[in-house]
């Protein structure tokens, strides 16, 4: 009760408390939206540099070549290239997709959609955004440290990532007759690594930054779970929650259970680097030229287990909220009830729980016991079943519907179409013998981009367009949105679909110059084609940014419920004030009462029953 009175009677917040150190869940969601947008730009530029190198591996780069150190001769160095894709993936995953999905949609939508005035812990919520800022600053600063940013891949496998000069490295005395080697390359400095220049200070910055991200997401997920379980409006049973809320709820549980494992693993690797522990260094020591590590007692494979125990569920953290968002948008614009609401909820729960026992499918070739691989293979194969159920239910929702082709709907339909491709290509890698060939080739790069870019990002575009009027009180520009959608759909497919073919051809990922391989030579035209498409795809995203900023000030004013949607957030004014609702709504029914008989074709969750309104519970 205290909480309610605070919102309704509290003094008007000043600029700092309303825009920066806001405890209002809506403002925190919007903060995540804009910081995500900045990092989307940075991550995208890194990807374009990767593509430039792959398209023309031996060419000197015009214009941007001048930015590189003179010793590189206008080309990027192989070490710089490894840094590019490492930071591209890290930024896109930890600073764009997860913050957008859980940070923006989670914060903005959960209280509004369940009919609460705010999160259960508003102050914790504020911290969950502000611990992201040390992460933002550290990850950006890492580009400028000695040796460059992290370059061991976003997976940061030891021993490439965790060997530091501090980790017991010593130089053996020369034997007479030994040819002098390049042992002087590495400065005798605790923060340098003999494994790679970016595996020194850059890797330490990367680890510290991700630890902050981990803490922030942890705060967020605890908040989401508590809010959803305790603060639903009267009548909002669990089985009346919109699928968006269900997906965010399941995601929060995944995050709360899996993320501590990654955070701890990051800390262990940090200890390996800083105080010469040996969690991930093998007994027997390692040799880098004339540098040798002292014998360790750890196991490099342990990192992979810990990392994937989080990072596989993380893949679902990065897709489940998009699935929820897309479900709500499809039902709204198909003007038809969600087909199979309960199967949709249960299949999300199944994906989440199976998601915990499939992490080993990233490690079929890692040296893990091959018998264990069989178990992971079966679990992985089975996870395609709930994914198929979801797809069929979306299609059944569309069947016999009357589709309104808004920008949000088009992006949501693209999500369904692209998720099918991303899901089906996963089956190839789940099959252990086939994965032996496809592992670490471009086939997996195609798969991850179909799931994360072509699915999650389309889900995000759909969601941002859909809830923009609720966030800012103005509608996004529809024609501009449609042009952006069509071009993204075309160039996205032109960029990512040929990656499957590269993978079938055996093109390994993370290669600076594939053309030195004879068997990859004739794939090079595809690489160049993809680079051109990627540049156009990147340019297209400027339309999205333009649309956001244009619509912020010049968009058409939005009514309370511009899409005739049923869920509770549309009961609140656009944008909702501090405290969201004038009066906490009484929930009467589930969220998908479309195409009902009566004067209106839909019944919102809170509207009292109308005579003649046929309601299916």
Partner 1 sequence: MHRCWGLLFAAVNLAAIGLFVVSPAMGWWLPRNIASYGADIDHLFYLILVATGFFFVITQGTLVYCMFRFNAKDGVKSKNIHGNTKLEIIWTAIPAIILIYLGFAQTPTWAKMKYIEIDTWFPVKYKGTNIESDLHVTVLGRQWEWRMRYPQGNIPADPQAWADLGNLNDLHAVNELHAWKDARVKIHLKTQDVIHSFFLPNLRLKQDALPGKIMPMWFQPIEANVRFNPKTRMLEELNPSSTWEIACAELCGGNHYRMRGKLFVHESKQDYERWFADALKNQRLHESPRVQPVVAAGNGGNP
Give the x/- contact pattern for partner 1 in 539-568, rule: CB under 8 A.
------------------------------
- Rank residues 433 and 608 by Cβ distance to partner 1 and give the closer one: 433
616 lies in the binding site for partner 1 (CB under 8 A): yes
Asked whether 47 and 534 are in contact (CB, 8 A), the reply is yes
Which residue from 45, 271, 396, 532 is in contact with partner 1, where contact means CB under 8 A? Answer: 396
Burial of 405 (0-12, 13-18, 19+ CB in 10 A): exposed
Site for partner 1 in 422-481 (CB under 8 A): 424-425, 427-428, 431-434, 436-437, 439-441
Rounded to 10°, the helix 201-230/132-141 angle is 160
CB burial of residue 479 (10 Å; 0-12, 13-18, 19+): exposed
Is 68 one of the binding residues for partner 1 (CB under 8 A)?
A: no
In this structure, what DSSP letter does residue 188 have? S
Closest approach of partner 1 to the CB of residue 13, in Å: 42
Total chain residues near partner 1 (CB under 8 A): 128
* CA–CA dist 34, 11 (Å, integer): 27
Site for partner 1 contains 196 (CB under 8 A): yes
Of 305, 588, 601, 610, which lies in the binding site for partner 1, with binding defined by CB under 8 A?
Answer: 601
| Interface segment toward partner 1; rule CB under 8 A; list 247-255, 503-511, 548-556, 580-588 | 503-511
What's the rounded Cα separation, in Å, for the pair 283 and 281? Answer: 7
How many other C-beta atoms can be found within 10 angstroms of the C-beta atom of residue 155?
16
Contacting partner 1 within 315-374 (CB under 8 A): 334-343, 365-367, 370-371, 373-374
Among 208, 381, 535, 536, indicate the residue that binds partner 1 (CB under 8 A): 381
Token digits of residue 386? 């709930």
504 counts as binding partner 1 under rule CB under 8 A? yes
Q: What is the DSSP string of 296-311?
A: ----HHHHHHHHHHHH
Interior CA angle at 183 toward 181 and 185, to 5°? 115
Residue whose CB is less far from partner 1, 108 or 246: 246
Of 81 and 308, CB closest to partner 1: 81
Pick 66 or 342: Cβ nearer partner 1: 342
Least spacing, CB of residue 259 vs partner 1, in Å: 24
Q: Is 413 in the site for partner 1 (CB under 8 A)?
A: yes
Name every residue whose Cβ is closer than 8 Å to that of residue 578 and which is 6 or more positions away in sequence.
Answer: 7, 10, 13, 24
- Measured between alpha carbons, how far is residue 22 from residues 2, 30, 337, 552, 569 in Å? 19, 11, 36, 20, 20
Q: Which stretch binds partner 1 (CB under 8 A): 65-73, 75-83, 306-314, 460-468?
A: 75-83
Q: How far is the CB of 594 from partner 1 (least distance, A)?
A: 7
79 lies in the site for partner 1, by CB under 8 A: yes
Structure tokens at 496: 């990512």
Q: Kindly state whether residue 308 participates in binding partner 1, applying the rule CB under 8 A.
A: no
Q: How many CB atoms lie within 10 A of CB 487?
A: 16
Tell me which long-range contacts 230-233 makes (C-beta under 8 A, separation of at least 24).
230/120, 231/111, 231/114, 231/116, 231/120, 232/114, 232/115, 232/116, 232/587, 233/114, 233/115, 233/116, 233/568, 233/584, 233/585, 233/586, 233/587
Interface residue with partner 1 among 124, 501, 532, 535 (CB under 8 A) is: 501
Report the residue from 242, 498, 579, 591 that binds partner 1 according to the rule CB under 8 A: 498
Q: Name residues contacting partner 1, limited to 9-38 (CB under 8 A).
A: none
Contact residue for partner 1 among 288, 532, 550, 575 (CB under 8 A):
288
One of 229, 239, 275, 395 touching partner 1 (CB under 8 A)? 395
CB 40 within 8 A of CB 96: yes
Of 30, 93, 120, 377, the one binding partner 1 (CB under 8 A) is: 377
According to the 3-state scheme, what is the secondary structure of 195-246?
Answer: CCHHHCHHHHHHHHHHHHHHHHHHHHHHHHHHHHHHCCCCCCCHHHCCHHHH
Query: For residues 113-172, which are near partner 1 according to CB under 8 A?
Result: 151-153, 157-160, 163, 172
DSSP for 571-598 reads: GS-SS--TTS-SSPPPP-S-S--BS-SS
Specify the residue, 34 or 517, whose C-beta has the smaller distance to partner 1: 517
Closest separation in Å from C-beta 598 to partner 1: 10
186 makes contact with partner 1 (CB under 8 A) = no
Q: What residues from 82 to 101 belong to the interface with partner 1 (CB under 8 A)?
A: 82
Least Å distance, CB 85 to partner 1, is: 9
199-258 residues in contact with partner 1 (CB under 8 A) are none
First and final CA of the chain: distance in angstroms? 31
Indicate whether 389 belongs to the interface with partner 1 (CB under 8 A). yes
Give the residue, chosen from 401, 551, 574, 605, that forms a contact with partner 1 under the rule CB under 8 A: 401
Question: Nearest 5°: CA angle at 606, between 8 and 458?
Answer: 90
| CB closer to partner 1 out of 89 and 254 | 89
CA nearest 28: which of 211, 227, 206?
Answer: 227
Binding of partner 1 at residue 535 (CB under 8 A)? no
Does 70 interact with partner 1 (rule: CB under 8 A)?
no
CB closer to partner 1, 13 vs 340? 340
**Residue span binding partner 1 (CB under 8 A) among the ranges 222-230, 261-269, 517-525, 576-584:** 517-525
CA dist 258 → 17, 135, 226, 308, 364 (Å): 32, 20, 17, 10, 21
Closest approach, Cβ 107 to partner 1, in A, equals 30
Q: How far is CA 328 from the centre of its chain?
A: 20
């Amino acid at each position: 009760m205290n909480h309610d009175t605070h919102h309704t009677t509290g003094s008007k917040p000043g600029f700092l408390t309303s825009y920066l150190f806001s405890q209002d869940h809506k403002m925190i969601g919007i903060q995540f939206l804009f910081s995500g947008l900045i990092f989307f730009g940075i991550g995208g530029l890194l990807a374009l540099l990767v593509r430039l190198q792959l398209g023309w591996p031996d060419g000197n780069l015009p214009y941007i070549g001048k930015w590189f150190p003179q010793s590189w001769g206008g080309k990027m160095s192989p070490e710089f290239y490894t840094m590019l894709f490492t930071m591209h993936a890290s930024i896109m995953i930890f600073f764009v997709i997860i913050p957008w999905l859980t940070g923006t949609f989670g914060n903005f939508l959960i209280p509004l959609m369940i009919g609460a005035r705010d999160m259960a812990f508003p102050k914790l919520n504020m911290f969950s955004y502000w611990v992201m800022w040390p992460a933002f600053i550290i990850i950006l600063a890492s580009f400028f440290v000695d040796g460059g940013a992290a370059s061991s891949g976003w997976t940061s496998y030891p021993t490439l990532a965790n060997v530091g000069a501090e980790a017991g490295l010593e130089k053996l005395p020369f034997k007479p007759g030994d040819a002098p080697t390049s042992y002087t390359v590495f400065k005798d400095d605790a923060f340098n690594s003999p494994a790679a220049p970016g595996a020194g200070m850059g890797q330490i910055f990367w680890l510290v930054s991700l630890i902050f991200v981990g803490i922030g997401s942890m705060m967020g997920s605890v908040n989401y779970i508590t809010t959803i379980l305790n603060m639903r409006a009267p009548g909002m049973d669990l089985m009346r929650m919109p699928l968006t809320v269900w997906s965010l709820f399941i995601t929060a549980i995944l995050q709360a259970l899996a993320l501590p494992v990654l955070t701890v693993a990051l800390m262990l690797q940090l200890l390996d680097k800083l105080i010469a522990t040996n969690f991930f260094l093998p007994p027997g020591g390692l040799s880098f030229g004339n540098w040798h590590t002292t014998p360790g007692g750890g196991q490099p494979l342990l990192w992979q287990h810990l990392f994937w125990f989080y990072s596989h569920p993380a893949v679902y953290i990065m897709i489940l909220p998009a699935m929820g968002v897309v479900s709500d948008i499809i039902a709204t614009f198909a003007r038809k009830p969600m087909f199979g609401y309960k199967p949709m909820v249960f299949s999300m729960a199944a994906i989440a729980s199976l998601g915990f026992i499939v992490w080993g499918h990233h490690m079929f070739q890692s040296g893990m016991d091959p018998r264990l691989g069989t178990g992971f293979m079966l679990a992985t194969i089975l996870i395609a079943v709930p994914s198929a159920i979801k797809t069929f239910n979306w299609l059944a929702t569309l069947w016999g519907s009357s589709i309104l082709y808004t920008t949000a709907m088009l992006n949501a339909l693209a999500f369904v179409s692209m998720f099918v491709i991303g899901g089906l290509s996963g089956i190839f890698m789940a099959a252990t013998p086939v994965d032996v060939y496809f592992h670490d080739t471009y086939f997996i790069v195609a798969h991850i981009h179909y799931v994360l870019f072509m699915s999650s990002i389309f889900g995000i575009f759909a969601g941002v367009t859909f809830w923009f009027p609720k966030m800012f009180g103005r509608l996004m520009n529809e024609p501009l949105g449609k042009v952006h959608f069509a071009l993204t759909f075309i160039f996205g497919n032109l960029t990512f679909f040929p990656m499957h073919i590269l993978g079938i051809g055996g093109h390994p990922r993370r290669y600076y110059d594939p053309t030195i391989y004879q068997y990859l030579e004739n794939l090079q035209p595809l690489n160049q084609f993809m680079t051109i498409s990627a540049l156009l795809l990147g340019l297209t995203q400027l339309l999205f940014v333009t649309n956001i900023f244009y619509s912020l000030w010049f968009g058409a004013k939005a009514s309370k419920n511009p899409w005739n949607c049923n869920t509770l957030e549309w009961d609140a004014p656009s944008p909702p004030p501090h405290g969201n609702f004038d009066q906490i709504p009484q929930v009467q029914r589930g969220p998908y009462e479309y195409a009902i008989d009566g004067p209106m074709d839909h019944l919102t969750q809170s509207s009292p029953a109308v005579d003649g309104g046929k309601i299916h519970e």
